[in-house]
Amino acid sequence: MNPESLPEQARRAWAVAKKDIRIYYLKGPVLIFGVFMPVFLFLAFYMGGRDLPLAFLIPGLVGMTLFFSATAVSPAIFPWEGSAKTLERLAACPISIEAIVLGDMIASALFGIGITLITVLIGVGVGLPVLHVDILFIALFLGACCFSALGTLLAVPPTNVPSNIMMLSSLLKFPLVFISGIFVPLAEMPRWGLPLAAISPLTYFCDLARYCFSGAHYFPVTLDIGLLALFAVVLSIATMYFHRKTMPRRL
C-alpha cells in the first residue's frame, strides 16, 4: 500500500465499518446473543452453589461480554458477503484488502465496547464501583481490538458457507472462556491449567477487569496491558496477512 494513500484508505475502512454496523450489527438476534449468552453463562455459575463474590464474578461477566460481542459477527462477514457476491464489488473498488479487514475489525470493536459498557453499568448498579476507570478504558480498547482481530482471523478459511466458520468459531471461543480464569480464579487453577490460561488474551483482560473493580490481580497490571496490546498487534497483522492470501480464492 502506498503510504501516501493511508489517510484515504483509513477513510474507506471507516466506510466499511459503518456499512457493517448498519447491515450486520444493528440486528435483534445479534444484540441478544451479544448480551444474553454471557449473562446465561454467568447465572449458571452464580446459581451453581459456588461461593464466589460479585467482585470476582462481575469482571468475568464483563470479560465474557466483550469477548462474545466482539466475535459475534466478525467471523461470518466474509462468508456472508462472499455468498451474496457483494465481496466482489467491494474488492473491485479502490480499497485495499487491509482496509476492508480493518473496517470489519473497527465495526466489531465498536460493537463490543458498546455492549460491554452496558455490563459495566450493571456492575456499578449492583454496588460494585469501578476503582480504576482509566485502566478499565485502556483494557476495553485493547481487548476490543484484540478480540475483533481474533474474530476476523477466524474468517480466513475461504468458504462462503457461514455455518462452517461459526462452527469453527464456537470450537475456539468456548474453550478459551473456560481456561481464562473467568469461573475459576487463576490462583486456584491446577498446575497444568496456568500454561493454557497464559496463551489466552481473555485471561489478561479479565485480570485487568478484576483489578479495576476490586483491586485484586494475578499478573502485574503492566504485564496484562503489555501482553493484551501484543496479542492485539500480532492478531491484527496475522488477520490482514492471511486474508490477503485467501481473498483471491473467495472471488
The C-alpha cell 459475534 sits at 72
Domain range for 48 is: 3-250
pLDDT score recorded for residue 2: 46
pTM of the model: 0.89
pLDDT at 51: 66
Predicted local confidence at residue 220, as pLDDT: 95
251 residues of the chain, pLDDT tens digit each: 544 588 888 898 999 999 888 888 777 666 666 667 666 766 766 665 456 778 888 898 899 889 988 998 888 888 888 787 788 888 778 888 899 999 999 999 999 998 898 889 888 888 888 999 999 999 999 999 999 999 999 989 888 888 888 888 888 888 898 889 888 888 888 888 889 999 999 999 999 999 999 898 999 999 999 999 999 999 999 999 999 998 888 76
C-beta contacts of 3-11 below 8 A and 24+ residues apart: 9/95, 9/96, 9/98, 9/99, 10/99, 10/102
Q: What's the confidence (pLDDT) of residue 29?
A: 64
Place of cell 481456561: 179
DSSP 130-162: -S-HHHHHHHHHHHHHHHHHHHHHTT-S--S-H
Domain count, the chain: 1
Residue-level pLDDT at 131 = 92
